[in-house]
Amino acid sequence: MALPAGGKVTFHPDGGWSFPDGTVFIKHFVMPSATPGAADRKIETRFIVKDQAGTRGFSYAWNAAGSEANLVMAGATFTLSAPDGAGDFTYAIPAASACTTCHLAAVNDGVLGLETRQLRRATRYPDVAGDFDQIAAWKHWGLFDAALPDPSGWPAALPSPDGGDGHAPEARALGWLHTNCAFCHQPGGPAGTAMDLRMATLFAANATCDVAPQRGAMGIANALLVAPGDSATSILYQRIVAASRPPRMPPLGPTRIDPDGAGLVRDWIDGLDTCPTP
Ligand code: HEC
Ligand code: HEC
């Protein structure tokens, strides 16, 4: 992230943080090599620019040598070899005009990942020994415009999807859905259905369990958004693993289904006995 000169970040315990006009967010995509010990391959570098004109996105695709990156306004697809040995797959860079389908101006000015839940964890910084808390680091660098409220009132960090921090399958699945789906699936969002996949909304109240889908049953008899114990009739899961778009979710973005994320949602649903009481 690059802030404009003198620009500061406004911290909000819940929801996304606020950033001054002129802030640029940068995200690098690299792929580990299938050959052990070989260098990672640079794929693309994405920029989200937030200024008076609104929020806009741009992607630069790296050449195979990783020596130069070029702006791709119209989007691009190319074939890459999966590092996990799953073979070749099509990698897609969305057109610049498609960035704001997810980076929605109405949702925190289109800044999706920078929030207390996601940044309340330690990371490794260059030239600092060991892991360091990210919010403490931002505070140390003077990036916030005011003193931070007491951490006892902050929401907990999102559960680690791999279960490394000991969270139950439900919390891990809901955390994954929060990050990957909730910016479209929340009240007032573009999906236009009742389902609310934000972490702050309890499972008992998120309009999924024992709730009939509003946008089609994918040909599945007795389909529900979440059918306890049965991912086969649960549209929330079936939309994630559908063979093509539509109906696969998210409606754009990666061409490969995320096996880990899909597995989290499946195992959680299959392990449910009943719906929680609201
Ligand atoms: C399918 C939805 C989707 C599309 C399309 C998409 N993004 Fe994102 N992007 C996300 C999500 C979700 C995050 C936050 C990830 C997280 O929470 O860790 C993100 C994060 C980012 C970030 C870090 C800042 C932030 O908002 O958290 C940048 C920079 C970014 N995307 C650039 C782009 C650009 C440029 C494009 C278009 C070429 C694009 N994105 C298209 C979903 C999308
Ligand atoms: C870019 C916005 C966007 C993102 C991101 C997105 N969705 Fe959707 N979703 C939609 C829209 C729009 C619809 C309604 C159109 C349709 O049925 O395809 C929808 C419909 C659905 C439905 C059907 C709801 C019903 O009541 O029938 C489910 C289930 C769903 N999405 C799950 C997900 C999951 C799971 C994710 C994350 C992996 C996700 N979506 C990410 C926009 C999005």
Query: Do 123 and 173 reside in the same domain of the chain?
Result: no
Task: Name 114's Cβ contacts closer than 8 Å, sequence gap at least 6.
Answer: 1, 16, 17, 19, 25
Last residue of a domain, one of 118, 153, 188: 153
Does the C-beta of 82 come closer than 6 Å to ligand 1?
A: no
Q: For residue 84, how far is its CA from the centre of ligand 2 (angstroms)?
A: 28
* C-alpha span between 175 and 198 (Å, rounded): 8
Give the residue whose CA is nearest to atom 42 of ligand 1: 102
Q: What pLDDT tens digit does each residue of the chain (278 aa) get?
A: 999 999 999 999 998 999 999 999 999 999 988 778 888 999 999 999 999 999 999 999 999 899 999 999 999 998 988 887 788 889 999 999 999 999 999 899 999 999 999 999 999 998 888 999 999 999 999 999 999 999 999 999 999 998 889 999 999 999 999 999 999 999 999 999 999 999 999 999 999 999 999 999 999 999 999 999 999 999 999 999 999 999 999 999 998 899 999 999 999 999 999 999 87
Q: Torsion over CA of 12, 14, 20 and 26, rounded to 10 degrees?
A: 130
Q: For residue 221, how far is its CA from the centre of ligand 1 (angstroms)?
A: 35
Last residue of a domain, one of 121, 153, 185: 153
Last residue of a domain, one of 96, 129, 153: 153
- Structural domain for 64, as ranges: 24-153
Does the C-beta of 26 come closer than 6 Å to ligand 1?
A: yes
* C-alpha span between 90 and 51 (Å, rounded): 33
Query: Do 30 and 140 reside in the same domain of the chain?
Result: yes
Query: Do 196 and 76 reside in the same domain of the chain?
Result: no
pLDDT at 48: 98
H or E element at residue 132: strand 131-133
Asked if residue 4 belongs to a domain, the reply is: no
Asked if residue 78 belongs to a domain, the reply is: yes
H or E element at residue 127: none
Query: Do 101 and 149 reside in the same domain of the chain?
Result: yes
| Prediction pTM value | 0.96
pLDDT at 38: 85
Query: Do 96 and 177 reside in the same domain of the chain?
Result: no
Structural domains counted in the chain? 2
Q: Which one-letter amino acid corresponds to residue 103?
A: H
Asked if residue 140 belongs to a domain, the reply is: yes
Q: pLDDT digit string (tens) for 169-213? A: 999 999 999 999 999 999 999 999 999 999 999 999 999 999 999
Asked if residue 277 belongs to a domain, the reply is: no
Does the C-beta of 60 come closer than 6 Å to ligand 1?
A: no
Query: Do 206 and 149 reside in the same domain of the chain?
Result: no
Query: Do 142 and 33 reside in the same domain of the chain?
Result: yes
Query: Do 39 and 141 reside in the same domain of the chain?
Result: yes
